[in-house]
Structure 1
Amino acid sequence: MSRLTCGNKSLDLSTPAIMGILNVTPDSFSDGGEFSSFEAACRQADNMVAQGATFIDIGGESTRPGAKDVSEADELARVIPLIEYVTKAHDVWISIDTSKPVVMRAAVAAGAHLINDVRALQEPGALAAAGELGVPVCLMHMQGQPRTMQQAPVYDDIVKDISSFFEERIAACVGVGIKRDNIVLDPGFGFGKSLAHNYQLLQRLAEFSSFELPLLAGLSRKSMFGQLLNREVSQRLSASLAGNMLALQAGANIVRVHDVQETADMMAVLSATKNHMDLS
């Protein structure tokens, strides 16, 4: 059974969970600037919890292709007040979307329960910080860095290559004292993957079940839908729902989304169908 633990807090992931995206940045690819003010971000957190989010994923640095680096001071100023607000206002899991050890420490001290790192704790000091903090971690695969990752991604076998990366990072985490059961894996849709890579990855997502660890799928509003359908970011809801349904059917335990209510509705339909509920 997939279960995350943080102190006396425990989460059973045998039922899939929704991670609501809350980017407190002026330049994120989908909602840049929309929630950059503290008040707007707090209201969005309230909305996502009310709509069924199990996690609120708070990030202060955009990792879209071509994104600029953000200083530690700026990132801290963006995320810490919001973590403190959500901690006081809601009984919900909080994840901090960061690669910086200083931000990880401050976020966990403020109430964050999970470190969600697109660089899989490879930045200097990040692995040691996560080991000291003892909270669950999400390790994402990314080929290259955000500024260059989409230029020419190449794989011999995308699932085998990502699995080899996961094996190395899991071993590194366990080596610093992180419990294996507290590791979540994210194959990194859109991070150093071509359009074909992304759909191959979605089609083969179930193969990562061999790790027997929780699997996170981050498909929401991604360019893989925009390129396929010629849709702007604001027009990718239906495609995102379809992608997330496929991911859940392939065994994803967490879906990371912008549109919590719509995703919760989709998951309710999927659950009712799977469990043959008596709806008479």
Structure 2
Amino acid sequence: MAVINRTPDSFYDHGATFALDQAVAAALRAADQGADWVDVGGVPFGRGRAVGVAEELERVVPVVAAISAARPELVISVDTNRAVVAERALAVGAAVINDTSGLGDPRMAEVVAAGDAHVVITHSVGPPRAEKPAAHFHDVVTEVREFLSARLARAERAGVPRERMIVDPGHDLDKNTLHSLELTRRLGEIAALGVPLLAAVSNKDFIGETLDRPQGRRLPGSLAAMSACILAGARIVRMHDVAESVDAVRMLEAILGWRAPVRLEHNTHPTRNV
């Protein structure tokens, strides 16, 4: 999953894809580099200026429509916690709603069900863009698992088939670095919920704090964290650096026996004694 931020204050690209044409170009470039889907967001999760519904719609809907028209085979998800934005995005070509609030909007599950869409249910604590107290958990993995299990049940009651549900433990979302490291270490406990697991670890602060690396120098750590998550059961990875991530994933798939090498030449010819 490639990340397309139609925001002026993204923690990663600082607005590089805020303009409509730049956002669409980035999505098409990601597809050319091997991304299977693109995740379009109009509101960053972290603290910052509130973004109204009309502004979020203006940021998200035209991008989704343009990408869908240009690459109808590409899966498009929309990163939103508002049911009205999800509804409009699904109407113009989105197929997945990536809800970092974990169905915080009471209408979200109904909108997903009505739109025959998939949903990513993410663990977080409280609303996005808000000031919150320091992160605290008695057992972060157990509490995240219980939250996700309850929200899966909520989606199912609203009519979303279980085969259209995905979970994301929410690395760094209202969690500190030790929490995110423990989630990664014990990710198999989240995968045991039995639905596809998404890992969104790319360039996050737990990587920067672990390695003492600023933004722009977190790619090796991101690839290591991504690979650890895949080995623990993640089957979708949300990454910023698409080409490098695709190579790392395909290499890991080949090691695990899930993908054949592109070619076989090394030591495949008879040895000649001269």
The answer to whether the superposition gives a TM-score over 0.5 is yes
Residue correspondence of structure 1 range 41-56 to structure 2 within 5 A: 41-56=23-38
CA distance in 2, matches of 1:125, 1:136: 15
CA distance in 2, matches of 1:273, 1:128: 41
Give unmatched runs, 5+ long, in structure 1.
Answer: 1-18
Q: For residue 238 of structure 1, report the CA deviation from its aligned partner.
A: 0.8
CA distance in 2, matches of 1:210, 1:228: 27
Q: For residue 69 of structure 1, report the CA deviation from its aligned partner.
A: 2.1
Deviation digits for residues 121-180 of structure 1, max 9, x if unmatched?
112422332232221100000123334576411112111111111111011101010001
Q: What is residue 82 of structure 1 aligned with on the other side?
A: 63
Secondary structure of the residue that 1:104 maps to in structure 2? Answer: helix
2:238 aligned with 1:256: yes
Deviation digits for residues 202-251 of structure 1, max 9, x if unmatched?
00001122211000000000000111222111111111011101111111
CA distance in 2, matches of 1:176, 1:232: 42
8 Å CA contact retained: 2:109, 2:160: no
TM-score normalised per structure 1:
0.89
Q: What is residue 50 of structure 2 aligned with on the other side?
A: 69
CA distance in 1, matches of 2:130, 2:187: 25
Look up the equivalent residue of 1:163 and give its one-letter code: R
CA distance in 2, matches of 1:272, 1:167: 32
2:172 aligned with 1:190: yes
TM-score normalised per structure 2:
0.91
2:207 aligned with 1:239: no
Q: What is residue 57 of structure 1 aligned with on the other side?
A: 39
Q: What value does the CA root-mean-square deviation take over the aligned residues?
A: 1.5
Q: 1:143 aligns with which of 112, 122, 125?
A: 125
8 Å CA contact retained: 1:150, 1:191: no
Look up the equivalent residue of 1:264 and give its one-letter code: V
Q: For residue 274 of structure 1, report the CA deviation from its aligned partner.
A: 1.5
Larger RCO: 1 or 2 (CA < 8 Å, sep 6+):
1
Secondary structure of the residue that 2:149 maps to in structure 1? Answer: helix
The change in CA–CA distance for 1:131 and 1:113 in structure 2 (over 3 A counts) is same
Q: What is residue 15 of structure 1 aligned with on the other side?
A: none
Secondary structure of the residue that 2:77 maps to in structure 1? Answer: strand
Q: What is residue 77 of structure 2 aligned with on the other side?
A: 95
8 Å CA contact retained: 1:150, 1:194: no
Residue correspondence of structure 1 range 1-280 to structure 2 within 5 A: 19-64=1-46, 66-90=47-71, 91-147=73-129, 151-275=133-257, 277=260, 279=264, 280=266
Deviation digits for residues 5-29 of structure 1, max 9, x if unmatched?
xxxxxxxxxxxxxx00001000111
CA distance in 1, matches of 2:28, 2:211: 32
Give unmatched runs, 5+ long, in structure 2.
Answer: 267-274
Look up the equivalent residue of 1:253 and give its one-letter code: R
Deviation digits for residues 51-106 of structure 1, max 9, x if unmatched?
11111100101112x13321111111111111111111112000011011111111
Q: For residue 201 of structure 1, report the CA deviation from its aligned partner.
A: 0.6
| Number of residue pairs aligned between Structure 1 and Structure 2 | 261
Larger strand proportion, structure 1 or 2? Answer: 1
After TM superposition, where is structure 1 displaced by more than 6 Å over at least 4 residues in a row?
none
